[in-house]
Chain A
Amino acid sequence: MEQWSKEKNLLDNTINLREVIGVEVLSKRGISIGKVEQVRTNPDSLNAAGIIVRRGFFKKAVYFSVDYVDKFSLQGIILTIEPAFLLKGKKVVSADGKVLGKAAQVTRENNTNDLKTIIIKSLFRKPAEIPAEDIDHIGASIVLKEDYVATEKYTKK
């Protein structure tokens, strides 16, 4: 095929976005989020702006801007983040190992992945809202900082 291009945009250095449809999207920790439904481009720059990910039946599709994409290929897409919605259902544990409940709801700053609060629920307690500043570590569960006083805040509301 004849080409009209400057060096960095040679045809061999590009991918056909149509082939990305259906590719698996993974979170930073390796959880499968879904499959690419659409690749959105910026109409001015023609650069890819983000992807819409189909998450299966009964789950809403989600949009990730390219700021949250770490690796993009025809084999798979890896995000730079653990999307906040994946926190739902994780155990919330105080710094001394007491299980306070499970994350039932997550709020974030506008459309970013920056956490604002998590709301935890457990069987015999009122729901409690925990600000993101009180979170020490998010992994298999959500571990709170040592200075978070669970007994006081947990009985509020």
Chain B
Amino acid sequence: MPLKNILKNEALNGTVTSDDILGKDVIDIDGGFIGVIEKIHLTSQVEVTGITIDRGFFKKGLYIGQGYIKRVTPYALFLNIKPSFLLKGLPVFDVQGSRIGIVSSVVLSEETNKLQSIIVRSQAKSATIKADLIESIGDGIFLNKKKQDLEAG
């Protein structure tokens, strides 16, 4: 079939090409820049299943499933989540603002973004804190309990 006939039958308005989006920024729901789009993954029926993000030197690439993509624009791709792996390295505070430690790793539910627990390192000790003890997440993580209650529990 000649190319012009194919084009005539397809509604191209509102679509983007792979050239348009490869190399574009990936922005999470909090406005954080995660990296740039490196690959687009398709099924054999040409449906997008997700993207791979290049996060720069010395950082592992990241696959994000299509369900976590909010929208694509000519300049960037927006996610509808803040990837939980980004919590690594954040400071953790109790409900009163007392510093508990730093997130050394995160435990997710299978291959989703759902947080199960965080491992918090403080000096030589490390502790597992379940996700239901987290009050809020921003540039730090606030828990909903006092430090002494966590130690007792």
Which residues on the B side are within 8 Å of A142 (C-beta)?
31
Which residues on the A side are within 8 Å of B73 (C-beta)?
96-97
Stretch at the interface among B21-29, B42-50, B61-69, B123-131: B21-29
Stretch at the interface among A3-11, A46-54, A71-79, A115-123: A71-79
Quick check: is B108 within 8 A (CB to CB) of the other chain? no
Contact of A140 (CB < 8 Å), options: B28, B74, B76, B147: B28
Which residues on the B side are within 8 Å of A141 (C-beta)?
27, 31-33
Stretch at the interface among A23-31, A56-64, A105-113: A23-31
Quick check: is A93 within 8 A (CB to CB) of the other chain? yes
Which residues on the A side are within 8 Å of B78 (C-beta)?
97
- When the two chains form their complex, are residues B75 and A140 in contact, meaning their CB atoms are under 8 A apart? no
Quick check: is A98 within 8 A (CB to CB) of the other chain? yes
Quick check: is A43 within 8 A (CB to CB) of the other chain? no
Tally A residues with Cβ within 8 Å of B. 28
Quick check: is A153 within 8 A (CB to CB) of the other chain? no
- When the two chains form their complex, are residues B25 and A26 in contact, meaning their CB atoms are under 8 A apart? no
- When the two chains form their complex, are residues B31 and A143 in contact, meaning their CB atoms are under 8 A apart? yes
Quick check: is B119 within 8 A (CB to CB) of the other chain? no
Which residues on the A side are within 8 Å of B31 (C-beta)?
91, 93, 137-143
Question: Which residues of B65-96 are within 8 A (CB) of A?
Answer: 73-78, 90-91, 93-96
| Given A30-B91, A97-B25, A76-B98 contact (CB < 8 Å) | yes
Which residues on the B side are within 8 Å of A24 (C-beta)?
97, 99
Quick check: is A17 within 8 A (CB to CB) of the other chain? no
- When the two chains form their complex, are residues A75 and B139 in contact, meaning their CB atoms are under 8 A apart? no
Complex CA–CA separation, A14 to B132 (angstroms): 31
Which residues on the B side are within 8 Å of A93 (C-beta)?
27, 31, 76
- When the two chains form their complex, are residues B93 and A28 in contact, meaning their CB atoms are under 8 A apart? no
Q: Identify 15 residue pairs between A and B in the complex whose beta-carbon atoms are under 8 Å apart, listed by A's number.
A: A29-B138, A29-B140, A30-B139, A71-B95, A78-B93, A93-B76, A94-B75, A97-B73, A97-B75, A98-B76, A139-B29, A140-B28, A140-B139, A142-B31, A143-B31
B residues within 8 Å of A by Cβ? 24-25, 27-33, 73-78, 90-91, 93-99, 136, 138-142, 147
